[in-house]
Structure 1
Amino acid sequence: MIFSQGADGCGLLRWTQNECTLIASEVLHMDEDIRRKQNDIIIGIYTAPVEDLLIDCCEGLREIIPFDHSYTAFNDQSDRFKAAFNYQSTDTDEELTALYADYYHTIDYLSWFYNQGIPATVRSTDLIHPDVIEKSRIHQEWENRLGIFYTATACVATDNILFGTISLMRSKEQGNFSDEEMRVFDEINEHLCNRFRLTYPNGVNRFMMDCNVDRIIAAYSLTPREWEVSSLLVKGVSRAEIADRLSISKNTLKHHIANIYRKMHVSNAMQFFAAFNRVGNIGGSSRGDEK
């Protein structure tokens, strides 16, 4: 860096050519590092088990986008439930995470946006004025305990189906999420939306997250309700109890089981369990009650 006298007599600082080259090289190296880390996350999106996918992405994003706290959640699209579940966080106290899951999610000022089922990434301040955030009950009672103010959220969704969300949170001191950080977040979310759309075109539910069922869903194209029935059969639950748990008639249950057998190309319970275990390698009771 050199100092020179300007025409108006004011001193000017000028970068030398070598310094400019060095700065450009450092910026390029930084961009390459971010791209490499981003590519690692994208590869993981298409290879990791779905039940771990959101939290794994969250940890990968930490290497690119700094944040103080985070949480992820799935959204149940089954007939019986339409609510977030399986809240997870690796950087937030379990009690505070449970408080959000059990209560504060119901008064979250962003919940209306999540529930539209639109694939998007958004900053809280893109939708809500900071003054409104400051006065909100969830901020005063929950966010303040975490020391956070700014939130960036990815809605993993497609075709009006919400699969889940990832929320990254920062303190006021750390500042809001930049446009560049949101660009990276949005690119990652595009791949998340694609993975879930390909694997679960009808959405996810609580039963699907009990174990790794990617291969079973993909192999047999089971609907969420058919997966509920299948998972309960594998666990040894009787047909009568399955009908009671799912609030369906025995005839409706028979119809679901007939569809499952047809999709799995089997004709009886023994063949069903063999096919189920062969594809998913999932253990359980040998069979459900066929009465």
Structure 2
Amino acid sequence: MELSNTRWRSFQGFLLELYRQSRLNEIQKMVMEYLQAEILHQCSMFDYGRAGDETIRFFHPYSGNLDEQTLQDYYQNYQHKDYTVWNFSQTEPVVYRDSDLMPDYLREKSRIYQQWMRPLGAYYGLGCTIVRRHFYGSVTMFRTKEAGDFTEEEVYFLGLLNTHLSSHLQMLYPNGIRESDFRAVDESLLGKYHLTERETEILRQLGEGLTNQEIGGRLCISEVTVKKHMSHIFEKMQVKNRNQLLLKLQK
């Protein structure tokens, strides 16, 4: 199977940007924005993970089209009941359609479909595991029953993208990704500037590269409230804007 000339040129442009990017959260955003444009779907998510002796621990999920509460609901209540996880390999990348793993009539009876997917209008799923010597994470997309199942071409395209994504993450993190690899705020800064608990939480999210809207979603507060806290952080840390603050965190 081959890509059309137009899609191939678009894919090459995406790969150039991907291989230039080293920040984990930016890689998530880049991949999801690209897939939103290239593969029809209603909602999607990209998480990182690390394989243990018997289980895989997922962390730092990102979605550009699911609200934070829905996203966290999956990881807190349905992740380990997801029938697709049975198909995950810790040593080889897997690209799959939900319908290839389980007949529709059985999927419709599953708890994750009844309680999490159906309220979203999600019926068909397409996903991949990001693996190259180590387990790095997974990408999942959903679309409605009316839109029809994902095609063989879309499965092929996601597999092609995943090959490069797996290689890039393996190059950046040859021993796998740990939660501690996400840039943390220097603890000495927190005490030095007398930040409150909430300001500290916001500063950590900022250190991950999240926008005010994303921070608000993750902490379940309004964007206006985030801006007020940011103003207090700027004042305490003696900076005028976000860029100056990020530079101070990097010192």
TM-score for both structures, normalised by structure 2: 0.69
Q: Distance in 2 between matches of 1:117 and 1:170?
A: 28
Correspondence for 1:132 = 106
Q: Which runs of 5+ in 2 are unaligned?
A: 190-246
Correspondence for 1:102 = 76
Correspondence for 2:240 = none
Question: Contact 1:77 / 1:204 at 8 angstroms: preserved in 2?
Answer: no
Correspondence for 2:93 = 119
- 1:143 and 2:117 correspond: yes
Question: Contact 2:90 / 2:131 at 8 angstroms: preserved in 1?
Answer: no
Task: Give the SS at the match of 1:62.
Answer: helix
- 1:69 and 2:43 correspond: yes
Question: Contact 1:78 / 1:204 at 8 angstroms: preserved in 2?
Answer: no
Letter in 1 for 2:113: H
Displacement of 1:132 in angstroms is 1.3
Task: Give the SS at the match of 1:84.
Answer: strand
Displacement of 1:282 in angstroms is 8.0
**How many correspondences in the alignment?**
190
Question: Contact 1:75 / 1:84 at 8 angstroms: preserved in 2?
Answer: yes
Question: Contact 1:114 / 1:162 at 8 angstroms: preserved in 2?
Answer: no
Question: Contact 1:73 / 1:165 at 8 angstroms: preserved in 2?
Answer: yes
Question: Contact 2:14 / 2:34 at 8 angstroms: preserved in 1?
Answer: yes
Q: Distance in 2 between matches of 1:56 and 1:198?
A: 18
Residue among 166, 176, 179 paired with 2:152: 179
Correspondence for 1:201 = 174
TM-score for both structures, normalised by structure 1: 0.60
Letter in 1 for 2:47: A
Range moving further from structure 2, 43-52 or 127-136: 43-52
Identity of aligned residues (%): 24
Q: Distance in 2 between matches of 1:284 and 1:196?
A: 22
Q: Distance in 1 between matches of 2:79 and 2:29?
A: 18
Q: Distance in 1 between matches of 2:248 and 2:132?
A: 29
Question: Contact 1:122 / 1:154 at 8 angstroms: preserved in 2?
Answer: yes
Q: Distance in 1 between matches of 2:140 and 2:120?
A: 14
* Ranges of 4+ aligned residues in structure 1 off by more than 6 Å: none
Radius of gyration: which is bigger? 1
Correspondence for 1:31 = 4
Post-superposition CA distance 1:48-78 (Å, at most 9, x none): 2223213311210122111000011000358
Q: Distance in 1 between matches of 2:248 and 2:4?
A: 42
Correspondence for 2:143 = 170
Displacement of 1:284 in angstroms is 6.5
Query: Within 5 Å, which residues of 2 pair with 1:182-261?
Result: 182-210=155-183, 235-236=187-188
Q: Distance in 2 between matches of 1:130 and 1:282?
A: 53
Task: Give the SS at the match of 1:135.
Answer: coil
Task: Give the SS at the match of 1:210.
Answer: coil
Question: Contact 1:68 / 1:169 at 8 angstroms: preserved in 2?
Answer: yes
Q: Which runs of 5+ in 1 are unaligned?
A: 1-29, 212-230, 238-280, 286-291
1:78–1:44 distance in 2 versus 1, CA, 3 Å: farther
Letter in 2 for 1:92: L
